[in-house]
Each structure stands twice: as C-alpha cells, then as structure tokens.
Amino acid sequence: MAERLFFSVPLSRISQLELIRLQARLGAEMSGPARVVPAANFHLTLAFLGSVSQQQKAALLARWESLVVPEVSLELDQLAYWHRAGVICATTSRTPMALGQLAHRMRQDAAEHGLHRSHAPFRPHVSLFRSVSQLSRELPAITPVPLHINEVDLMVSVFEPHGVEYHSVRRWGGAGSLSPGNEPR
C-alpha cells in the first residue's frame, strides 16, 4: 500500500508553544474562515515525496540510512499568506545554507527516483492556518520564533475522520554536516 511521505524538521516543545501563542493571537484577529493547523502537526517540510510504494520507501530509507543532519539555527521572523495554497505560515527571511542544501538534495533525490518533483523553491515555513481564502488586512509583524535544527524525520500523512495526522517513520539526529559519504546513493 502506498503512503504519502515527506521529510521534515520536528519542532521543539518550546517552539511549538510559541507558535501556538502566535496562532491564537492571529486567530483572534482573523475575520474570514480558516482551518487551524493542530500543534501536533507543526513541522518544517524539507521535501514532499508524494505517494510512495513500500518498495520505494525501502529504497529511500536505504539511500538515506547514513544521513548526518547539519546543526543549524533559524528564526521564523515573519508571516506569509500564500493565496494559491490558502495558507498562513510563519517563515524566515534568512535560510541557513546547510538547511537549503539538505532540502535541495532531498528534493533532487526524490525527482531522480520517480517521486514528487518540487518546482517551487525551498522556503522554510510552519503552516499555522489552512483554507484561508483572503486576508482582511495586512499580516502583523511578529516576535521571532527561534528554531534549533539537528533532527530530520521521514513522516507519513495519515487521513483520519477528524483530519490528517503526521507520524514519524524514521528520525535522524545529531550534529555534523552532509559529507559525500552521507549523500544518498
């Protein structure tokens, strides 16, 4: 059976709490309909892989088995509204080079192995609201939310009657950099 998979950065509980507070503040100011993203679903997507068969998943896990996650920090320092996606998210004005390189390698690997091909550039973000059809006013400035990144998850999307849930299939963690020996084969 195929699964919808993606690589993401998990958020610390402290970062989740700061984003919950931000989400509550924004929710009180919103005038139109929107779906609140549950805090349990907060994550920073590196690469969406799409529908992946069990055989493709096994090959993917083998290729990325020795992944060493670069240790980086970033700040979610601004809000964005992506009209086509109907999303309000917290995003950053500065993407750490090592994080951008990791996302690029993961996206390139997916495309080379017949999985989802990402056309949009990588832009680190955490979705706060979905199904937003329009904004009634400009999004406010925010207090930056710091993220310390040293782990990556392979996640599966599970559709439940109450909505989508995300579950970790595999987690990689630790300091270091992506060296040639740690790239996917």
Residue 63 near residue 185, CB atoms below 8 Å: yes
Q: Give the residue extent of every domain in the chain.
A: 3-177
Query: CB count, 10 Å around CB of 168?
Result: 13
What average pLDDT does this structure show over 111-119? 94
Q: For domain 3-177, is the CATH number 3.10.105.10?
A: no
Residue 146 near residue 15, CB atoms below 8 Å: yes
* Catalytic (active-site) positions: 43, 125
- Angle 123-129-134 (CA atoms, 0-180°, nearest 5)? 95
> Which helix H or strand E contains 143, and what residues bound it?
none
**In the predicted structure, residue 182 carries a pLDDT above the cut 60:** no
The model carries a pTM of 0.89
Token pair belonging to 30: 């919103």
* Digit-coded pLDDT (tens) for 41-94: 999 999 999 999 999 999 999 999 999 999 999 999 999 999 999 999 999 999
What pLDDT score was predicted for residue 174? Answer: 59
Token pair belonging to 179: 């060296």
What's the gap between Cα 160 and its chain centre?
Answer: 20
> Which one-letter amino acid corresponds to residue 100?
G
* Digit-coded pLDDT (tens) for 3-56: 999 999 999 999 999 999 999 999 887 777 899 999 999 999 999 999 999 999
What's the gap between Cα 64 and its chain centre?
Answer: 18
Residue 181 CA to residue 45 CA, distance in Å, equals: 24
Rounded to the nearest 10°, the torsion over CA 111, 117, 123, 127 is -120
